Chain A
Amino acid sequence: AQSVTQLDSQVPVFEEAPVELRCNYSSSVSVYLFWYVQYPNQGLQLLLKYLSGSTLVKGINGFEAEFNKSQTSFHLRKPSVHISDTAEYFCAVSYTGNQFYFGTGTSLTVIP
C-alpha cells in the first residue's frame, strides 16, 4: 500500500538545538516528496519538495531534507530551531503528481 510513516508524533527540543523529523515512505519507481508545516490556526504551507535531481533539498525558514532512496526516507532537519518553529509538520508523498498522501504529522515543540 502506498503510505507515509512519521514515527515521531511529538518532538520537544530546546531553542537553538538541532532537530530531525523522520519520514519514511513506501517505495516506488518514481516518487515526489514534500514537507508541509501547519502553524496553529493556519492552513498547511509547503516547506520544501523533492521532485528529482539533488537529494539534498533546501526549503524555507532554514529547513532542509535529504532524499535517501535506499532507505526510502525523507527526513527533515534544521541545525538550530527557533521558538517560532513550533508547529505541526507533515510529510507527504505523491507517486503520480496527482494524488498526495500525508503522514500523521509530527508536533514540534521548541522549549525556551
Chain B
Amino acid sequence: DTGVSQNPRHKITKRGQNVTFRCDPISEHNRLYWYRQTLGQGPEFLTYFQNEAQLEKSRLLSDRFSAERPKGSFSTLEIQRTEQGDSAMYLCASSRGDEKLFFGSGTQLSVL
C-alpha cells in the first residue's frame, strides 16, 4: 500500500492556460474521487469514478473541467482556460467501495 499519489504537488499557471493533474489511487481501490479545497473551506466534491465509469459529477463543475479514468486505474483532471477562481488545492481520494476514503496530498494550483 503506497498510498494515493498526486502529481504535480504544485502548479503555477497563467490565466487562460490549460492544466492537467494526475492521481494514482491505491491499486486495489475501484473508486476514485476528485475534490477541491480552498483556504478556510472543507473539501468540495467534484466528481467520482467507479472503475472507469464516471458516475457522478458536481453541478458546480463547469464545462472547463473534465476528468478521465481510462483504464480504471489512474485518473486525470484537466482544467481548460484556467481562471483565477480555479486557484485551489485539488484533492484525489480512493476507496475500495466502502466508506473509508484515502486521500492524496493534493495538487496546489495557482492561477496568475
Contacts and interface: CB of A to CB of B under 8 A. Distances in A.
Interface in B26-57: 33, 35, 40-45, 48, 55-56
Contact of A98 (B3, B35, B43, B48): B48
Contacts, number: 55
Interface string A97-112: 1111111110000000
Contacts of B91: 43-44
Interface in A37-55: 41-46, 49, 51
B1 interface: no
A34 to B, nearest CB: 7
Interface residues of A, number: 26
Interface string B54-68: 011000000000000
9 contacts: A41-B105, A43-B3, A43-B91, A44-B91, A90-B42, A99-B45, A100-B33, A102-B43, A103-B42
Interface of B: 3-4, 33, 35, 40-45, 48, 55-56, 91, 93, 99-106
